[in-house]
Amino acid sequence: MIIQTCPDCGADLEQQILTSNPPKRKVRCPMCGWEHTETEETIRIPYVCEDRNMIGYVPPACKNCSNHPSNGGTGICHCILGTTQITC
């Protein structure tokens, strides 16, 4: 087991989960009041329904992606995840 300690006073830290959307992890020292809230980058991706009516549906961001299976690609499609495209 790992117990994190306060960088200021050395006391054991309390672990908390903030009920935000998305949830955030917070560590707090009950002795000196030091606290830190961890932030994580939020990535939004379109929901694709697996319904029979959606067979053949290609998200607009993937229509011209060479990696999308509908264009003969491998299926490892990063265009809807918002990653930076690098050109050589």
User: Structural domains in the chain?
Assistant: 1-40 (2.20.25), 43-88 (no CATH)
Mean pLDDT across 22-40: 90
Residues facing 17 on adjacent strands: 25
Whether the predicted pLDDT of 54 surpasses 60: no
Handedness of CA 78, 80, 81, 83 (dihedral sign): positive
Q: d(Cα 81, Cα 43) in Å, to the nearest integer?
A: 7
> What confidence score (pLDDT) does residue 51 get?
57
> What confidence score (pLDDT) does residue 6 get?
93
Amino acid letter, 83? T
Amino acid letter, 57? Y
